[in-house]
């Protein structure tokens, strides 16, 4: 298949099941504004959190192939669920056949790598979708690097719908955020660092912080993923040369382009003009 893919320099691709990956994109663009980027949101089939491993893998694979077809040599899965359920299969099973010189990276490992520097008590909480929590990806990756850290996961099934439906400043959002945080802290009152393991959750940060006890902090992934990507490109100059630099941004969605453009402003606080794309399936 590699012979059919564009071979010249191309944009860095960022994929998410919906809007949440925009918080990852924002961090990356702030750190490396010189590159071209294309963002693809599979909004028509979101959310991915409750879906099976097989379905998430197939949907993510379709998106990665489309981004490769659009000229991307490097794709970031700006989605914790896709990183947990699909990344390894794509890296090991698909890339050798699609194009062994292209790369797909996730966002769980960059977050796991820094958590040891953030916690003092060595007790860490993970707030994420049901799919990410059930995968135990954070527990596995943190344990590889920091076996002394105790990790407690909590699924927050209502948080993504609240963000996607622009209900972040409502009493309902306040209720669910408070309830889930209290439930997590009841499991382990020594937690001092909470990873927001879903890219939608930074939109709720103001409300999350309101319900955290003193000395506990919530960690957003965007800046850490951006720093990890910056380091990756420095270590892999051959990939860095394949990333085009024109500070151009393109947005694609499998849902309504008009709807995406409107909602994306909530995440990026800037004008967005999206295009519709079909992935099949």
Q: Which residues are catalytically annotated?
A: 79, 198
Q: What token pair was written down for 219?
A: 């960690």
Using DSSP's 3-state secondary structure scheme, residue 96 falls into: helix
> What is the side-by-side strand order in the sheet with 217-219?
150-155, 123-128, 193-196, 217-219
Burial class (CB in 10 A: 0-12, 13-18, 19+), 136: middle
Taking the C-alpha atoms of residue 228 and residue 159, their distance in angstroms, rounded to an integer, is: 26
Are 222 and 28 in contact, with CB atoms under 8 Å apart?
A: yes
Are 40 and 252 in contact, with CB atoms under 8 Å apart?
A: yes
Burial class (CB in 10 A: 0-12, 13-18, 19+), 16: buried
């Amino acid at each position: 298949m590699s012979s059919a893919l564009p071979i010249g320099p191309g944009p860095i691709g960022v994929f998410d099941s919906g809007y949440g990956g925009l918080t990852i994109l924002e961090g990356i663009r702030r750190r490396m504004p010189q590159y071209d980027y294309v963002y693809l949101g599979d909004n028509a089939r979101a959310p991915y959190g409750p879906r099976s491993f097989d379905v998430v893998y197939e949907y993510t694979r379709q998106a990665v192939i489309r981004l490769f077809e659009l000229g991307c040599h490097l794709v970031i899965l700006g989605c914790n669920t896709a990183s947990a359920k699909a990344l390894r299969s794509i890296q090991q099973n698909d890339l050798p056949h699609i194009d062994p010189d292209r790369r797909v990276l996730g966002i769980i490992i960059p977050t796991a790598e820094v958590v040891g520097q953030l916690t003092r008590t060595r007790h860490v909480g993970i707030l994420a979708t049901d799919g990410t929590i059930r995968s135990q990806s954070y527990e596995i990756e943190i344990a590889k690097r920091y076996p002394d850290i105790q990790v407690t996961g909590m699924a927050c099934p209502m948080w993504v719908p609240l963000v996607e439906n622009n209900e972040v400043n409502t009493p309902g959002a306040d209720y669910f955020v408070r309830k889930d945080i209290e439930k997590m802290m009841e499991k382990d009152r020594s937690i001092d660092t909470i990873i927001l393991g879903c890219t939608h959750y930074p939109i709720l940060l103001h409300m999350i912080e309101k319900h955290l006890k003193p000395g506990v902090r919530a960690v957003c992934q965007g800046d850490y993923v951006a720093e990890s990507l910056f380091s990756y490109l420095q270590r892999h100059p051959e990939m860095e040369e394949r990333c085009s630099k024109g500070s151009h941004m393109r947005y694609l969605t499998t849902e309504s382009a008009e709807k995406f453009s409107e909602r994306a402003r909530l995440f990026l606080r800037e004008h967005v003009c999206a295009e519709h794309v079909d992935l099949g399936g």
